């Protein structure tokens, strides 16, 4: 390997290690926020649960409404945790110099899957006021952006996996 490329690889490895630690911290924050949301839904009589433009006053919710929000809380924070987990794994690969590998492409694909799930969850949250509100809104605002982005990331991961397999085959040929 040329010396300038070795220096670049060392920078990638170092920076990826830092990003991996940041992902660990974000996973811990997601876990704490998840627990706070669950406790609020199960115990609290006041406060609100907000997801972007959708908000529900906890005290006004029925038991059924609280349980529905509890399930969506689990899904929301589960998908966020999944995103940071796969980023952490990917940065772990990069910190070991494993950049164009099949394992890295798998982590990128899983990140794309999480984006698709996040997009589906956004749509679910958009229509949730119809189920839980006594005065449901007359208009809705939703977007399929994350679904499209996730599908593009999945396609890129397939290309990366094929490139990694070609690279491994070429290394075996020598």
CB 121 within 8 A of CB 76: yes
Segment 14-58, tens digit of pLDDT: 999 999 999 999 999 999 999 998 998 888 777 888 887 788 888
Segment 67-116, tens digit of pLDDT: 999 999 999 999 999 999 999 999 999 999 998 899 999 999 999 999 99
Convert 120-134 to b/e letters by CB count within 10 Å (16 or more is b). bbbeebbebbeebee
**Cα–Cα distance between 58 and 61 in angstroms, integer?**
5
């Amino acid at each position: 390997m040329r010396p300038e490329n070795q220096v670049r690889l060392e920078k990638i490895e170092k920076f990826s290690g830092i990003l991996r630690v940041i992902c660990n911290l974000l996973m811990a924050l997601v876990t704490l926020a998840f627990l706070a949301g669950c406790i609020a839904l199960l115990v609290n009589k006041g406060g609100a649960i907000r997801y972007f433009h959708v908000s529900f006053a906890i005290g006004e919710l029925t038991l059924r409404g609280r349980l529905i929000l509890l399930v969506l809380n689990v899904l929301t924070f589960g998908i966020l945790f999944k995103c940071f987990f796969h980023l952490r794994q990917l940065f772990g690969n990069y910190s070991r110099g494993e950049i164009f590998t099949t394992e890295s492409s798998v982590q990128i694909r899983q990140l794309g899957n999480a984006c698709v799930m996040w997009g589906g969850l956004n749509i679910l949250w958009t229509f949730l006021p119809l189920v839980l509100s006594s005065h449901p809104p007359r208009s809705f605002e939703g977007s399929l952006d994350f679904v499209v982005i996730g599908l593009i990331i999945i396609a890129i991961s397939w290309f990366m996996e094929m490139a990694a397999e070609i690279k491994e085959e070429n290394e075996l040929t020598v």
